[in-house]
Every structure is written in C-alpha cells, then in structure tokens.
Structure 1
Amino acid sequence: MADLSDMSKRPRFRFIINPTSGPSSRVDVAARIKLHLDHQKFDHDIVYTDYAGHAPELAREAAAQGYAVVVAVGGDGTVNEVAQGLLHTETALGIIPRGSGNGLARHLQVPLTVDAAIRFLNQGHRSQIDSGTINGRPFFTTAGIGFDAYISSVFAGSKKRGLQTYVELILKEVRNYRHLPVKAVINGKTIETELFVMAFANAAQYGNNAYIAPMANIRDGLLDVCLVRKLDMFKALQLSYAMLANKPASADSAEYFKTEGVTVQTDHEMMHHADGEYLGKAKEFEVRMVPQSLHVVAR
C-alpha cells in the first residue's frame, strides 16, 4: 500500500460526476469538493458524463495524462464505468457514493456521505484490488447468471430504488422464475444442475449490505462462487435471511467455491449481469479473475 503523499509530483484528481445519480434531495457535489478537498495537497478538475459509456473515456483520458486519482461520483454503474477506464494503469479509483446500492464503496469501507467521502480521499491511502470478467466484461463486486440477472433487468426499469424495492421484486418474482439446466466447470469438476442463480463474487456483497459471499476477499486473486440450485420458497427465505445477516447460507440452500475461473454452458439463453447492470442473454459464459488489476483509494 502506498500513499499519495509519496508521489514526487503534486497529485491531480479528476472527479467524474454522473448528474443523474443520487437521491431526490440533490447535493451540490462540486461545491462540497471545493469546501472539503485539501487544495494545499491536490489539484483537481471536475467533468460530467453526457451519456452511458462516457465515463470510461473520461477515466482513460485522465490516466493517460498522469492523474493520480479519478473519482467516480455516482452509483454502482458509474463506479464500474470509471473503474473500467482505469484497469491496468497507475491511476487509482476513488469513490463518492451516490447510488442506491454502493456495493464497492461499502466493501472498501468508503464513507457513504459526500462530505466524509471527500475527506477520506484527502487521506490518500492507496491499495490494489482484483477485478473479474464475465464474457470479457469487467466487474468489480459481483457478476451472475440466473435469477439475480433477471432481477437486475427488472430493477433497471423500476422508478424506485433501494433495498426495500429490491426485496419486494425478489419476493414477487421468485415464485414464477423458471429454473434452467446448466453445465458448469469449477476447479476441474463438472456440475450439471437446474440453476436458480450462480453468483461470481469478487467483493462480499451486491450492495445495500446484501451479502452473497461473506467470505469473499477482493485481494486474494480468487472468485467466490455461490451456486444456488433449484429453490423453493422456504429455501429462498433462508437464503434472503443469510444475505441480510452477513452469513453464509445453509448447505441445503447454497454451495460455495473458491476458484480462478468458471465456464458455464446451457441449451437455453440465460440472463447475466455485471455489478448489477443487466447485460443480456447468452448460452455460454466464461468468468475469470484478473488479480491486482486496479488501484483504489481505500484502507
């Protein structure tokens, strides 16, 4: 771990703000940056995203220009996009959480309020974390196929956000979800089963303190795979309780594996997601870890 104060040049920060992220009670983030950032130690600029996919471009540009830190100001989607632009560079990701889930921020113990998150950046602690890919698409907290991807697709169209809405959608949709047969290869072992969900965790939680893989270590170079086979309502409630209690689910509800990668095949197209963003359907999936591929401002 290195501190920004160790750098020979005066560090520059770029803040990438998604103007559509955040609760209805708007906060003038630019004003809070002016108030709380340590301007004696750091230079900075602020840019705004204009469209989906703009943040990676702005992040890559900053990394190429030698910025020390690029700060994602937004929800999990914005964090994912900024992080994509910083992969395999020396520029660190910072986060000012402005979303409903804030999965990576929570895992890295970044404060969830704007002012505290900016003051946290002033401390300048850097470290490295792993990332993952699902069919080549980077993710930093979780990816998955099956029911959680289906919920991501429904959640994307919901006007309400937050944990309550997420739980309501799960309870509404779980009864009618169609389980599909899959063949997965994990650590050289082939598993054939009817699948409810297979979650690939780099970090411990989806967000909102809903823990899908409590044992996950974002720096160990391994995926924590949570496999949930065909599920009845009772087991679904057991699994939901375990997620909210930050405990592994019981053995009859879920199975856990640590691995460097997974391949999955199915005869039917299945939905998949990365960091909660619905990506579409596919019949084959390749999930891989990319160890120590992203610098972050974190303890």
Structure 2
Amino acid sequence: MPSDVEEPRSPRVVSAEKAPRALVLVNPNSRRGAGSAEAVAKRLSGAGLAHSVETFSSPEEVSSDIVRRAAEVDRVIICGGDGSVNAAGPGLLETGLPFGIVPLGTGNDLARTLGLPEDLDAAVDVIVAGKMRRIDVGLVNGRPFFNVASLGISTELARTLTPDIKRRWGRFGYALAAMKVLANARPFTATIVDKGEPIRVKTFQIAVGNGRYYGGGMAVSEQAAIDDEHLDLYSLELSGVWKFALMIRAFRTGSHGAWEEVRTVRGLEFDISTRKPRPVNCDGEICAHTPAHFKVLPKALTVFAP
C-alpha cells in the first residue's frame, strides 16, 4: 500500500442482483473488541447477510485486507474504534467500497458524528438496513482522516492515552490523560497559511476538523459537519494553559470560537509549518509531521448510517 492517497475511486455500487457479501474486520484490541467477532457474525447471519470475518493486529493490515478482498465483497464492516476506521481509510479510498461501523472503541467520535448507536446489535442493524450517505474525507500530507487532525496538546494526549488506560477507564481515561498532559503543556510557534495568506501564531494546539466530534465528544465547531465539503480549523492561543479548563463546556458544544483566545478559520486547504517538525495526530494516531498540508476530499466515501 502506498503511504499517501491523492484521489478516491468512484464509489462502488451495491448490486441489487447479486447477494451482498461483507468483509468484517475486527480489532480484538479495541476496548470492547474481545469476543465481539462472534456476536457480529451471529447478528449478520441472522439477518441473512453473507460475510467473512477477519481480525487484525496492526493498522497496516486493515487497508491491505480491504484491497486484497475487494473483488470478493461489496461492503466493508469495521469493528473497532476511531483508530481502526482511520486505518481503513486508504483501502476504502482505493477501492471505493461502502463501509459500515460497529463502534467498539473508547471515543467512537465518527460513530457519534454519524448518529450511529453504540449498541453492537443496533449498529449491525443499521448496516443491514442498507441506508447510505456520502461523507467527506480529510487529508494531511496525503494521509486520510475522518474526525480531526491536530498538533500540540492532542499529540501528547495520543501518546499518553495508552490502550491499557482506554480499556481500564473508558472515556474517563481521556480526562485522566488530559490532566497529565496539560500540567506539562508549553506553547509553540507555527505559521498557518489560508488562501495564500500566512498567519504566525503562538499556540498550544492547532486542530483541523473534517467531521464534527473528536477527543471523546468535543466538537470542532458549531457548524462542522462531515458532509459540508469544508475543513474547520482552530488555534488555541492562550496566555496560560490553565484557562483551557474554563473552556471545556464551550469545546463540548463547539462554541469555543467565541473566545478571543481561539482563532477559527473555515476553508478547503491549509498549510501549517513549525520551526522543527512536530507530529500530527489523526483520529487518535500519529500519522504525519509538519510541514503539513491539509485538504478536503468532498463526498469521497459512502458509509452505512441512519
């Protein structure tokens, strides 16, 4: 698999003449992944949907499995968290296969954005019902992301929020990890280029959102949607990181742009550079480094959703 993706293939049409067959990819290491493969398979069998189930242990396996099996199936079902769906992005873009999500992770922010139920059986039923919608995909240096790609506090949070913390504490683990990261956070200088105009900022975090939710339920913007064909950027330019605690409610609703310390920009493409390369977090996983080019692929994928 190439490491970067330029443009998606045309979406695969689900045939009404041939019996549908699903490729079910299960992350056994996701928070609720243990034992889920059997439950998903049982639900699909009960609905009469032919399928094959495979587990994976690394992100690289996900996309390669999709490409390898593309000729045999007409849909993909990802059973895992946001990191699992992110790992499937390159393969989904390459094949154009429609996909469904059974949210088994900690944050499940893409499922929240799409209005998917967290109950395993109910999530499978959404896929079986067959209603689909087109969604945008974000790219950073050619790597796809669904929710948010960011640098700063979030990258340290991604490193601190270990799989063990996720399994043990669930969403409360985000708060525990965030407290540790914020205690040691320091601002950095970056240049944001929007429509050819450079903006130099001193910031604790820059986030570029494709979807609406990230970080276990925070909203990137009040108007953000995963099919609005735009990216939403914010830069957290605080005098002290302690003030972030006062903004938590605003970040949950997406209204943080009303604070004068939060710069917000809406656009189709952005460039972000820093004096030294800094890691970029895509949907909870480190995926790139600055300098970083962000862009949106409008209506790039088809997903089963209510």
The answer, yes or no, to whether TM exceeds 0.5 is: yes
Partner of 1:222 in structure 2?
230
| 1:123 aligned to which of 120, 123, 129 | 129
Question: CA 1:187–1:251 in 2, change beyond 3 Å: closer, same or farther?
Answer: farther
Q: Which shifted more, 284-293 or 162-171?
A: 162-171
2:204 aligns to what SS in structure 1?
strand
| 1:17 aligned to which of 26, 51, 59 | 26
Per-residue CA deviation, residues 173-208 of structure 1 (Å, 9 max, x unaligned), is: 224312111111113332111121111101111142
Partner of 2:292 in structure 1?
285
| 1:62 aligned to which of 46, 64, 69 | 69
User: Quick one: percent identity of the two aligned structures?
Assistant: 26
Partner of 2:7 in structure 1?
none
Partner of 2:278 in structure 1?
270
1:105 aligns to what SS in structure 2?
helix
| 1:44 aligned to which of 28, 43, 51 | 51
2:59 aligns to what SS in structure 1?
coil
Per-residue CA deviation, residues 105-127 of structure 1 (Å, 9 max, x unaligned), is: 11111111111111111110112
Report the Cα offset of residue 93 of structure 1. 1.3
CA contact (8 A) 1:129 1:295 kept: yes
2:107 is the alignment partner of 1:98: no
| 1:204 aligned to which of 189, 207, 212 | 212
Partner of 1:181 in structure 2?
189
For 1:243-254, list aligned pairs within 5 A. 243-254=251-262
Q: Which shifted more, 218-227 or 246-255?
A: 246-255
CA contact (8 A) 1:228 1:254 kept: yes
Amino acid at match of 2:268: E
Partner of 1:190 in structure 2?
198
Per-residue CA deviation, residues 142-178 of structure 1 (Å, 9 max, x unaligned), is: 1001111121122137534533221222233224312
Number of corresponding residues: 294
Report the Cα offset of residue 244 of structure 1. 2.6
Question: CA 1:245–1:75 in 2, change beyond 3 Å: closer, same or farther?
Answer: same
5+ unaligned residues in a row in structure 1: which ranges?
none
For 2:253 and 2:297, the matched residues in 1 are separated by 29
1:269 aligns to what SS in structure 2?
coil
Larger proportion of strand:
1
Amino acid at match of 1:275: D
Superposition TM-score, scaled by structure 2 size: 0.87
Per-residue CA deviation, residues 75-134 of structure 1 (Å, 9 max, x unaligned), is: 111111123211153311110111001111111111111111111111101121111111
